[in-house]
Chain A
Amino acid sequence: AQSVTQLDSHVSVSEGTPVLLRCNYSSSYSPSLFWYVQHPNKGLQLLLKYTSAATLVKGINGFEAEFKKSETSFHLTKPSAHMSDAAEYFCVVSAGSASKIIFGSGTRLSIRP
């Protein structure tokens, strides 16, 4: 069985400060892991994905995530937040099958000027 937990429903940071969005997963198989971003009234867009290659994954817009098997975590980070980063972020775990794609409940990121 698979599951994914996003540990914070809402994160607020000041512009120019680091961003950390936390994601823990559970999977019986070697998982693929994704981070998607959803801006208001838009569809989801892929930020980055891990599929058993390098454990540190770089994505778009300066985001990166590190796959830590021992901690079953896949936290999303960015060194310096920008106002345009304000959005909802979803962590996704998959065992590879189209029907076994599990979305986390989302983390809303707010950026303070």
Chain B
Amino acid sequence: NAGVTQTPKFRILKIGQSMTLQCTQDMNHNYMYWYRQDPGMGLKLIYYSVGAGITDKGEVPNGYNVSRSTTEDFPLRLELAAPSQTSVYFCASSYGTGGTYEQYFGPGTRLTVT
């Protein structure tokens, strides 16, 4: 049982480039989330999904896109990378809504945009 896995662990992008952050969970959780963590700040919700085919915006969705074609996978797409997107990105999943149920987090992707 690997839990939540994320790839890559680190990435450096040039301004204007695009990339996809991968997230996979093997716990058959319905809910999945993408957060970003900036230095000295708590986690901010980018997008979340309550099941395959259903996604919704969180607090800071601008500059990002997501899809959820399967229960297991929830990739995050960055289009036209900007320095403001330099951050650590965490994917999480939960059995039910993370407002009540425990969230399980991946190890994170550290992204630098220069």
Contact = CB atoms under 8 A, between A and B. Distances in A.
Contacts of A106: 40-42
Contacts, number: 68
Interface of A: 4, 9, 32, 34, 36, 41-46, 49, 51, 90, 94-106
Given A9-B40, A95-B99, A45 B31 contact: no
Interface centre among A42, A99, A106 (most CB of B within 10 A): A99
Contacts of B42: 4, 90, 102-106
Contacts of A100: 99
Given A98-B98, A102-B42, 5 more contacts: A34-B102, A44-B103, A51-B100, A90-B43, A96-B99
B56 interface: yes
A71 B102 CA distance: 25
A101 B41 contact: no
Interface of B: 4, 31, 33, 35, 40-45, 48, 50, 56, 58, 90, 92, 97-100, 102-103, 105-108
A43 B45 contact: no
A65 to B, nearest CB: 15
A94 B107 contact: no
